Amino acid sequence: MKNLVAILMMTAAVTVAAKSFAAPPADTLAEVKKKGVLVAGVKDSTPPFGYIDEKTRTIIGYDIDFIHAIARKINVKVELKPVTSASRMAQLQEGNIDMIVATMTKNPERAKQIDFSHTYFFTGQKFITRKGSVKALKDLEGKKIGTTKGSTSEQQARKALPTANVLSYDDYPQAFLALQQGKVFAMTTDESILLGLLAKSPEKSKFEIPNIQISDEPYGIGMRKGDKNFVDFVNKAILELEKSGEAKKIFDKWFGPKTDYHIQRNFKITADK
């Protein structure tokens, strides 16, 4: 009898728990149109892709402009939800956000769990170091390297520098602060993010990005696995933004000659093969 009661109690608990988590919509595009809002998971401390504007206290950036451009094609409003590299996939799979637009590198491991759009930005992983301290990758061997939890940067750093002590922080500003404080010898992530951090730092003259690249980093918009209608729509929207020139305008706004960033737009958005 006791066993029966225990089983019934466990069953009830599981039922309550299941009801407390809303299942993600089977067709996100239809659901977004119905509610009139596109909820996107974004970074809020990763300039120039997503960060809080000091004047308006709103999140702005390259990724944010891309989200708004896609939302206009659906004719819906945008709701931005801050995510971290470690939390973004869980937030998507649990139905808390409709898409991830958060400097997310596409790779086979992640593609087993979620679907990706065409590449909308392409960069490579490099390092920030104190000026003159690093000339080659071997100079980083055995050193403390800062990066971010749950990122491909963390994985690639361990792979490229197996003797290094890779320390992972909650976000990129924390990793950069650790470098400034001398807690790590270098910081690593995508070059475009490194440039954004340096551009906003009052101590940027003390640091540099050596010409040492350890990986290619193609960014994609993350959507739930099997959400075909939504993936097809987003892919079509991205290609239309490229064709119309709007994608280039967004790039030039955040990386062009009128800003502190000097990355050349050396890729063109195309349908991924």
Model confidence over 87-123: pLDDT tens digits?
999 999 999 999 999 999 999 999 999 999 999 999 9
Domain that holds residue 106: 24-120+220-255
In this structure, what token pair is assigned to residue 111? Answer: 């593609």
Residues 128 and 182 in one domain: yes
Residues 92 and 164 in one domain: no
The reply to whether 4 falls in a domain is no
* CATH number of 95's domain: 3.40.190.10
Burial class of residue 28 (count of CB atoms within 10 Å of its CB; 0-12, 13-18, 19+):
buried
Q: For the beta carbon of residue 266, count every other beta carbon within 10 angstroms.
A: 7
Residues 62 and 141 in one domain: no
Reference 101, options 150, 38, 11, 147; nearest CA is: 38
The reply to whether 19 falls in a domain is no
Residue 3 confidence (pLDDT): 52
Residues 33 and 83 in one domain: yes
Model confidence over 195-241: pLDDT tens digits?
889 988 899 899 999 999 999 999 999 999 999 999 999 999 999 99
CA distance 101 to 80: 10
Contact 176, 187 (CB under 8 A): yes
Residues 59 and 116 in one domain: yes
Where is the domain boundary, 217, 234, 265? Answer: 217
Contact 191, 264 (CB under 8 A): no
Q: Which of 64-73, 93-102, 251-260 has the lowest mean pLDDT?
A: 251-260
The reply to whether 239 falls in a domain is yes
Residue 15 pLDDT > 70, yes or no? no
Residue 256 confidence (pLDDT): 77
pLDDT-derived band at 255 (thresholds 50, 70, 90) equals confident
Residues 191 and 78 in one domain: no
The reply to whether 8 falls in a domain is no
Residues facing residue 219 across a β-bridge:
105, 121
The reply to whether 143 falls in a domain is yes
Mean pLDDT over the full length of the chain = 88
Terminal Cα-to-Cα distance of the chain (whole angstroms): 61
Model confidence over 130-163: pLDDT tens digits?
999 999 999 999 999 999 998 889 999 999 999 9
Residues 31 and 116 in one domain: yes
Residues 104 and 226 in one domain: yes
Domain count along the chain: 2
Residues 135 and 209 in one domain: yes
Residues 147 and 178 in one domain: yes
Residues 237 and 109 in one domain: yes
Residues 184 and 251 in one domain: no
